[in-house]
Structures are given as structure tokens and as C-alpha cells.
Amino acid sequence: MRPCLGDLSEYVTCKRGIQIEGVVFATKTFCVKLANGLAALTITALLTALNYIPNMPQSPGVVKGLFQAVTLLPALLAFLALLPMLFYRLNEFTLKEIRDQKKEAAPARS
């Protein structure tokens, strides 16, 4: 997903004439920090919901819940993370056109 951010920045610069690199990468950093916080919250809520007791033998229900949490949940989230890529329309051809337009416009700006 990271390469998409550079492509997006270049696309907006070409189409709108504004530089948004700072906003794009600051938003990415914020999203990473938010995801880390939500991950800690989710793990804590999950362990509480499963009645996990540290340093004790766990019941079969807790073991099954933990197994599902570390296998099925990440698989589901990985699949959901792929969905935005269905709407991603910047391909190599489009990016080449954008870069060509950018090169043509560069002498005109100086």
C-alpha cells in the first residue's frame, strides 16, 4: 500500500497543481499509530471476553478462541485490506502519462 501513496501524491500534484506529500504521509503515520492503539485495545477486549486468566491452565474454550483470534481474524482482516485495491485505478500506463505531463509542465513553471 505504501507505493500507492507516492502515486497518489504525484497524481494530485499533476491534476490539481498542489503538493500534498506532507499531508499524505502525515495521514499515513497517524493511521499507523491509530491502528497500533486499536490493536492493543482489541487484544485486551478479546482476552477479557475469552475469560483469559494469566499464568493458569486455560479452558478449551479459551484455547479455541485464542486460536481463532490468531488465525481466522488476521485472514479476514487481510482480505478486507485487499478490497480498496479493487478501486485503485492508477496503473503503469496512467502513471507514465502523469509523469510525461509533469515533465512538459516543468519548463513552463520556471
54 vs 105, which has greater pLDDT?
54
Q: Smallest Cα–Cα separation from 95: which of 4, 2, 1? A: 4
For residue 102, how many other CB atoms are within 10 A of its CB? Answer: 12
Q: Where are the domains of the chain?
A: 2-109
Cell of 27: 495521514
According to DSSP, residue 98 is labeled: H
pTM of the model: 0.67
Residue range 28-83, pLDDT digits in tens: 999 999 999 999 999 999 999 999 999 999 999 999 999 999 999 899 999 998 99
Residue range 71-96, pLDDT digits in tens: 998 999 999 989 988 888 878 888 88
Give the C-alpha separation, 52 to 63, whole Å.
9
Residue 76: what are its φ and ψ, rounded to 5°?
Answer: -65, -45
Crossing angle of helices 60-82/21-49, nearest 10°?
160
Give the C-alpha separation, 20 to 109, whole Å.
18
- Say if residue 109's pLDDT is above 90: no
